[in-house]
Amino acid sequence: MKADVKHWQASNPLISVVMNKVILLNSRPIGKPTLGDFKIIKEEMATAKDGELLLKTLYVSVDPYLRGRMNDTKSYVPPFELNKPIQSGVIAEVMDCKNTVGFKKGDFVFGNLDWKEYQTSAGKGLNKVDGSEVDLSAYLGILGMTGLTAYLGLTEIGIPKKGETLVVSGAGGAVGTVVGQVGKLLGCKVVGITGSDEKAAMLKSKFKFDDAINYKTTPDLKEAIKNACPNGVDIYFDNVGGEISDAVLANINKYARLPVCGAISLYNNTKPAIGPRLQPILLTKSATMRGFIVSDFSEKFPAAIKQLTKWLKEGHITYIETIVEGFDNIPQAFIDLFEGKNEGKMIVKVQ
């Protein structure tokens, strides 16, 4: 099945030279990233040597977590190096191969690859993907890291039980929309928190959330959550951190589970963020807050992808993408994540 795709053109003042283009980290962002933190260069066209594939980049995933790798601090993955290509999830087509095992010309692959128009690879870490029944871009979203993040964070840490109340922040994003739908399929009441009335309406109409709150216009978020969740909050799937999470925490039930998937509201902070201490509420509620990255659950990927694919084909879950066109627009698309300009998964279509 094909999902709705929102086409959206970012303005971009960067260069537009031909040949094989590459995007490097030009400087480590201070606070919010700017276009100046990136540099587009051209280099000689890549060619496959013996044992290598030549890959043409089709779709590039831009994700909030990449912001962490732009700092020179240890995170779950090593930082990007200055003047080296940035990497993220990429769907590519095999254009050529020289004695490689398991791949042939015309295959489509997913991998964590450089932001380059063309690149070579020995095939390690690449997975073949099948675009015959779903759009290839789905492997960057619902059937890729974001879908797995949503499904596994919710089922392994949130451990939803029928009749419980699930609150999701960043609900209109790539992960949030899947979390809410999976929560509904598992029998929860689902309330989303998002940043516009349009997104709130979409969560209810398209993604079947029971309720959605626009945190930007709600005068008292804590009270709004209380009203939307008269039985309290059993699971809080946290994509944002910060004051939104404070308001949810004020409404958690005994034995609440709080998967911490992201903290987008804090990623651009230049100093450690300050807020109410959490120990007293976790203590009085016997609550569990657990941070994770999807690779913590890598042994569960095959079963999770099988389940998500089944639901997708049966029409039980759907997804939304914001597709930005053009290789040069990758940096701007990334920057726009922090303004919440995406609905669902933000993807750059390169060619």
Count other Cβ atoms within 10 Å, centred on residue 129. Answer: 19
Find out whether 242 and 273 touch, Cβ atoms under 8 Å.
Answer: yes
Question: Among 106, 162, 277, 299, which residue interacts with a second copy (rule: CB under 8 A)?
Answer: 277
Instruction: Determine if 194 is a binding residue for a second copy (CB under 8 A).
Output: no
Q: Which of residues 21-80 bind a second copy (CB under 8 A)?
A: 68, 74-76
Residue 2 or 74: the one with the smaller Cβ distance to a second copy is: 74
Find out whether 113 and 119 touch, Cβ atoms under 8 Å.
Answer: yes
Instruction: Determine if 202 is a binding residue for a second copy (CB under 8 A).
Output: no
Find out whether 191 and 225 touch, Cβ atoms under 8 Å.
Answer: yes
Residue 116 or 257: the one with the smaller Cβ distance to a second copy is: 257
Instruction: Determine if 302 is a binding residue for a second copy (CB under 8 A).
Output: no
In the complex, minimum distance from the CB of residue 287 to a second copy, in angstroms, rounded to a whole number: 6
Q: Computed over its alpha carbons, how large is the radius of gyration of the chain? A: 20
The region of 6-14, 33-41, 188-196, 284-292 touching a second copy under the rule CB under 8 A is 284-292
Residue 96 or 243: the one with the smaller Cβ distance to a second copy is: 243
Residue 258 DSSP label: E
Question: Among 36, 102, 187, 276, which residue interacts with a second copy (rule: CB under 8 A)?
Answer: 276
What crossing angle do the helices spanning 301-313 and 145-152 adopt, rounded to 10°?
Answer: 100
Instruction: Determine if 283 is a binding residue for a second copy (CB under 8 A).
Output: yes
The region of 27-35, 158-166, 194-202, 280-288 touching a second copy under the rule CB under 8 A is 280-288
Residue 2 or 271: the one with the smaller Cβ distance to a second copy is: 271
In the complex, minimum distance from the CB of residue 166 to a second copy, in angstroms, rounded to a whole number: 18
Instruction: Determine if 205 is a binding residue for a second copy (CB under 8 A).
Output: no
Find out whether 151 and 182 touch, Cβ atoms under 8 Å.
Answer: yes
57: nearest Cα among 84, 103, 21: 21
d(CA 166, CA 188): 6
Residue 51 or 276: the one with the smaller Cβ distance to a second copy is: 276
Which amino acid, one-letter code, is at 183?
G
The region of 126-134, 135-143, 175-183, 276-284 touching a second copy under the rule CB under 8 A is 276-284
Instruction: Determine if 282 is a binding residue for a second copy (CB under 8 A).
Output: yes
Residues 6+ apart with CB under 8 A from 238: 169, 245, 248, 258, 259, 260, 261, 262, 263
Instruction: Determine if 17 is a binding residue for a second copy (CB under 8 A).
Output: no
Distance of CA 271 to the CA centre of its chain: 24
d(CA 259, CA 293): 10
d(CA 343, CA 176): 10
317: nearest Cα among 158, 169, 230, 190: 190
The region of 91-99, 197-205, 273-281, 299-307 touching a second copy under the rule CB under 8 A is 273-281
Instruction: Determine if 293 is a binding residue for a second copy (CB under 8 A).
Output: yes
Biggest alpha carbon distance in the chain?
63
Find out whether 201 and 277 touch, Cβ atoms under 8 Å.
Answer: no
In the complex, minimum distance from the CB of residue 260 to a second copy, in angstroms, rounded to a whole number: 5
Residue 225: its H or E element: helix 221-228
The region of 23-31, 189-197, 237-245, 309-317 touching a second copy under the rule CB under 8 A is 237-245
Instruction: Determine if 338 is a binding residue for a second copy (CB under 8 A).
Output: no
Find out whether 343 and 192 touch, Cβ atoms under 8 Å.
Answer: no
Site string for a second copy, 240-259 (x = CB under 8 A): -xx--x--------xx----
Instruction: Determine if 260 is a binding residue for a second copy (CB under 8 A).
Output: yes
In the complex, minimum distance from the CB of residue 333 to a second copy, in angstroms, rounded to a whole number: 23
The region of 26-34, 122-130, 135-143, 267-275 touching a second copy under the rule CB under 8 A is 267-275
Reduced to 3 states, what is the DSSP secondary structure of residue 87? strand
Q: Which chain residues interact with a second copy by CB under 8 A? A: 68, 74-76, 238, 241-242, 245, 254-255, 260-263, 266, 272-293, 296
